Structure 1
Amino acid sequence: MSNQRAAVELWKSNLQSSDYRKKLIVGLILISFILLSLPFFYQAVEKRNGISFNDYLLGWLPAYDLSLFIFVVIWSMALLTFSRFRQDPSIFLTFLWGFILINLSRFITIGLLPLNAPADLIPIQDPISNHFYGPKFVTKDLFFSGHTAAMFLMFLCLKKKTDKILALLATIMIGIAVLLQHVHYTLDVVMAPVITYFLWIGSKKIVNS
């Protein structure tokens, strides 16, 4: 009970700060617009004809349907991260702005780099995530991997050592799983943590400015 009371007091203290409130409100407005625009953007992307990569690793890897595994790992980590939001408002604000920057960056990279889906792609069955992409499963939202980026952002934002270990393991497992499911090229997965790291730095600058 004392930990819960301390968390409530910490949230009250942060919400009393006009700077925190402003960044929180602006962030929530931006992420709302982004989530509303996702189906329009990705359904349009799906209609484009793009470039097909000759990915040697995917050509060697057999395709497996790991939808249930991916769903469980992603949303288990999401629940853990959401629970930490309740305890620490700084984690929430940093993650919020990091997630905004990831989505805006993916709009840019996917828009500038039209790619066709990898061969033998197996659609991920995720009723929660897929809901935000529109009526048709999207296969061309490729560079860079949003699944891997989200997991790595959790790793960067979480503070407890055990949380960070779990998030790092989740990042690795999801990166491997989306390759085995052939929903991403190798480059999409490898570059996701690299790009996310710099976006996380950007989110910290926004939060701490």
Structure 2
Amino acid sequence: MSNKKTRLASLSLAGRWVLTWQSPLFKQKLLMAVAVLLCLTPVFPMFYQYIERREGYFYNDILLNIIPAIDVSIPIFVITWGMALFALTRVVQNPSLLLGLLYGVIIVNISRFISISMVPLNPPHGLIDIWDPITDLFYGETYVTKDLFYSGHTANQFLFFLVLQKKTDKYLALTTTILMGILVMVQHVHYTIDVIFAPPLTYLCYLLARRMAKL
């Protein structure tokens, strides 16, 4: 395995993909991940519109109560999609990392379906809608405010931290994870528990994703 990794590292980007693509297992796992993501795409708006109609309960968040609600949509949008593009440019250089990220995204989203279903929360007081025309495409016709436990914005940043390999990339992703956790609370779109539980739950999802993506 180490010899294979060394050989891959010495090749050009095209060479790494040509060599990895020769593996039937890699092709099977990559195509499976893409197929699952395509199947999930129409599920997102159905699920989120369903939970938006559902009545939940309010959580008395002492910390959030003392944080004034401020519209920080722009930095949230920039971090969300800037880091997504950055992580994508990194993982395409290593096919196995791409698999890990794809399976991580799948499992994190499925786990959020489960956790949101099990913990029905109403949005925090003072919530300010996040301006994000890209994410809104997955929500459906009505803006969604009840996709709360756990924070998907924070989870995605932490997933990048787990998947990326270079130390500088990891420092960047860890920084954006912390910033995102703060920003979604300033925006009052998440409770404190949504943010705090995102990293450990994402880590569990990543462990499973890594096992599934292992070649």
2:208 aligned to which of 186, 192, 202: 202
2:27 corresponding residue in structure 1: 21
Are 2:53 and 1:72 aligned? no
Which amino acid in the other structure matches residue 74 of structure 1? T
Deviation at 1:8, TM superposition (A): 1.0
Structure 2 unaligned regions, length at least 5: 1-8
Distance (Å, rounded) in 2 between the aligned partners of 1:46 and 1:196: 23
**1:153 match:** 159
Aligned to 2:102: 96
Q: 2:121 aligns with which of 106, 115, 123?
A: 115
Distance 1:35 1:94 in 2: 19
In the alignment, is residue 184 of structure 1 matched against residue 190 of structure 2?
Answer: yes
Aligned residue among 129, 146, 149 for 2:135: 129
The TM-score normalised by the length of structure 2 is 0.93
Q: Is 1:42 the equivalent of 2:32?
A: no
Q: Percent identity?
A: 46
Q: CA deviation at 1:157?
A: 0.2
**Matched residues, number:** 207
Paired amino acid for 2:60: N
Q: Does 1:57 align with 2:63?
A: yes
CA contact (8 A) 2:96 2:214 kept: no
Displacement after TM superposition at 1:136 (Å): 1.0
Q: TM-score, normalised by structure 1?
A: 0.96
Give the 3-state SS of the residue equivalent to 1:87 in structure 2: coil
> Gaps spanning 5+ residues in structure 1: where?
none
Give, in whole Å, the separation in 1 of the partners of 2:200 and 2:65: 24
| In structure 2, C-alpha distance between the alignment counterparts of 1:103 and 1:31, rounded to whole Å | 10
